[in-house]
């Protein structure tokens, strides 16, 4: 079953692929990211045509181990696909340099095609910063007629190093990043007018509450909206890491805080909630802070395309922990289509 929502100039759809369903369509570019995560190649096993040319983003590795894992994964892609090219870019934390490379790449493809592009991208192992940037770039500069996004949900089997943890406890509350977080304003997804002391803040949060709280506290919003992942949302009655529990309790003390729980893969639900949150604002702008799940971040990007008063901000850590994430077993498809460009509907009906 496909759910869809028209917002601004785009139509947004989401659905879970059937067990044996294949992905077909006429795309100008098919992209994924090389990673150490074992779920990385899963979605592209669903490509109906294994001869489809695929480009793999390879961010510069910070250790021999990560480089080795990316090379191993590259071999997996090449074992199932006939045409694989590697797009080398800087380290993932070097966003500004990589934005320049990506913009030039897509502008060149647009120039060659002579029309807006149809792009398929597996966002599973591409950092949120870049997924959001491509959404903003592609539709703001009218480079894309459509952007289809595959996503493979994963199992976060993360052993905690918190001394308060019970034995053999693992879960998404453990840290996935290392070092100090820096904020990253996403180009193209900027508010037309930004007033620092007159904004509402909407935050999507995943499993790093301890680091998220001080990041959120840098802002002084009129109203704070928090979206937790429904499947793993914190509760006062659930076991939590000590640092996570303290951060959660502190967050609940905010007098202007509103809490919502939305399913991990329900990007459409996040889009609708974001539109409702922003439309009910008395502030002059809304800052959408994408800290949590990839589908939730994608949704913030779609919502921001349609709202000139909204900006999207990501966090950039000093580095990411090379923790494996295995596939749960299903694949999601999200479609962002320019409602007024007929080429976005060709061979995708």
The full DSSP string for 289-337 is EE-S-HHHHHHHHHHHHH-TTEEEEEEE-SEE-----EE-S--EEEEEE
271 close to 13: Cβ distance less than 8 angstroms: no
Domains identified in the chain and CATH numbers: 3-156+324-345 (3.40.50), 177-320 (3.40.50)
pLDDT in tens, 317-326: 666 677 788 8
Q: Which of 42-46, 218-222, 331-335 has the lowest mean pLDDT?
A: 218-222
Helices (H), the chain: 64-80, 95-113, 128-140, 209-216, 242-252, 267-279, 294-306
Q: How many CB atoms neighbour CB 195 within 10 A? A: 10
332/295 Cα distance (integer angstroms): 9
Q: Which of 175, 144, 180 is nearest to 158 (CA)?
A: 175
168/156 Cα distance (integer angstroms): 14
328/293 Cα distance (integer angstroms): 15
Three-class SS state of 246: helix
pLDDT at 166 over 50: no
Share of the chain above pLDDT 90, in %: 64
Q: Which of 34-48, 77-91, 202-216, 217-231 has the lowest mean pLDDT?
A: 202-216
Average pLDDT, the chain: 87
């Amino acid at each position: 079953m496909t759910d869809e929502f028209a917002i601004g100039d785009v139509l947004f759809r989401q659905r879970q692929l059937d067990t044996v369903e294949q992905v077909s369509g006429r795309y100008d570019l098919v992209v994924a990211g090389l990673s150490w995560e074992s779920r990385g190649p899963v979605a592209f096993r669903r490509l109906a045509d294994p001869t489809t040319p695929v480009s793999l983003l390879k961010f510069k590795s910070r250790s021999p181990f990560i480089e080795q894992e990316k090379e191993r994964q590259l071999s997996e892609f090449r074992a199932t696909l006939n045409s694989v090219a590697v797009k080398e870019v800087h380290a993932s934390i070097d966003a500004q340099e990589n934005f320049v490379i990506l913009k030039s790449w897509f502008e060149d493809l647009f120039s060659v095609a002579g029309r807006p592009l149809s792009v398929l991208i597996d966002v599973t192992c591409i950092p949120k910063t870049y997924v959001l940037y491509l959404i903003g770039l592609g539709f703001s500069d009218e480079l894309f007629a459509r952007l289809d996004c595959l996503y493979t949900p994963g199992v976060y089997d993360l052993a905690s190093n918190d001394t308060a943890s019970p034995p053999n406890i693992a879960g998404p509350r453990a840290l996935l990043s290392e070092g100090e977080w820096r904020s990253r304003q996403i180009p193209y997804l900027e508010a037309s007018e930004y007033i620092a002391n007159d904004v509402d803040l909407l935050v999507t949060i995943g499993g790093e509450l301890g680091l998220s709280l001080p990041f959120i506290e840098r802002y002084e919003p009129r109203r704070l909206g928090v979206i937790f992942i429904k499947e793993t949302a914190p509760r006062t009655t659930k076991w939590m890491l000590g640092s996570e529990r303290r951060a959660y309790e502190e967050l609940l003390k905010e007098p202007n805080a509103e809490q919502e729980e939305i399913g991990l893969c329900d990007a459409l639900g996040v889009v609708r909630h974001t539109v409702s949150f922003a439309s009910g604002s008395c502030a002059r702008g809304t800052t959408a802070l994408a800290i949590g799940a990839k589908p939730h971040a994608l949704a913030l990007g779609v919502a921001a395309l349609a709202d000139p008063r909204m900006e999207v901000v990501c966090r950039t850590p000093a580095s990411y922990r090379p923790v494996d994430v295995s596939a749960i077993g299903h694949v999601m498809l999200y479609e962002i289509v320019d409602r007024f460009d007929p080429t976005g509907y060709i061979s995708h009906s």
